[in-house]
Amino acid sequence: MSNIGFIGLGIMGKPMAGNLIKGGHTLFLHSRSGVPQELAAAGGKACASAKEVAQKSGIVITMVPDTPDVEKVLFGASGVAEGLSKGKIVVDMSSISPLETKKYAKRINELGCEYLDAPVSGGQLGAQNAALTIMVGGNQAAFDQVKPVFELMGKNITLVGGNGDGQTCKVCNQIIVALNLEAVAEALVFAAKAGADPAKVRQALMGGFAASRILEVHGERMIKRTFDPGFRIELHQKDLNLALQGARAMGMSLPNTATAQELFNSCAASGGAKWDHSALVRALEKLANHPVAG
């Protein structure tokens, strides 16, 4: 079994690291909020810095919120780069900028180490159940070496292409999820305002061509008003910003992505930045002056 470093132990990182410990690996852990007691009790070893994690690990995984966070963890004072030696592999499982990812990969490669960008989809439940979808960018040899580690955290694991392509794939994922959330929310608000029972409408739709994981999981959240994350609106806003910034740079339009972002912005303006992203329905409820459920 390997010595694995894991940096970032929040909603997603904590269960992911826990599954690696269950898989028999020795984990060296660091998080700005501290190492959770349950991971330490399971055998995880707390480290004082990202540098120390890198010194003690052959594979270093980062799972932090945004692009600047990854840059700080990798290249800031007492960061991962200071603790690397030749032959180690850095795996960033955060969801960040594809363009910046390529720059980070080059800097890590110059230190004689490999870099994989491996963002995930599946949310907190997928992390807890080791059922994440993992989208990987990097070279085949590094991917092959790390794949057994990925298999302890996820089910659908794909090497998409070179560095940055994993992050591009994640941006595509977030576009699709946002637009599906918006479609489900519109449908349920429409059903409720028309006088139909949205729960029964959802049940009927689950047996037809409109069936989807978003309708199944987040449609239920919208009806039951369970908006504790999950996946926070502010994080989905960040991901859609990456999509819209990339589209602008490439001279293309993502009109429905922009609309979904405006609905998220409306929720955030109402104090909902930390709501689960299924709470996008609240913006549509305001526009309709009618709730999905009381």
275 secondary structure, DSSP code: S
Residue 181 CA to residue 278 CA, distance in Å, equals 7
Select from 184, 272, 189 the least CA-distant residue to 231.
272
Q: Catalytic residue among 51, 170, 238, 274, which?
A: 170
Interatomic CA distance for residues 224 and 227, integer angstroms: 9
Would you give the DSSP letter of residue 238? H
Main-chain dihedrals φ then ψ at residue 56, nearest 5 degrees: -95, 0
Helix (H) or strand (E) holding 21: helix 13-22
Residues 6+ apart with CB under 8 A from 227: 221, 272, 275, 276, 278, 279, 282
If you ran DSSP here, which 8-state letter would residue 278 be given? G
Of 8, 213, 238, 52, residue with least CA distance to 126: 213
Query: Is 170 known to be catalytic?
Result: yes
Burial 54-84 (b: 16+ CB within 10 A, else e): bbbbebbbbbbbbbebbbebbebebbbbbbb
Alpha-carbon gap, residue 31 to 10, rounded angstroms: 8
| Rounded CA separation 253/8 (Å) | 34
Task: Name the amino acid, one letter, at 192.
Answer: A
Q: Which residue has the tokens 């070893």?
A: 45
The H or E element containing residue 103 is: helix 98-109
The residues carrying an active-site annotation are: 170
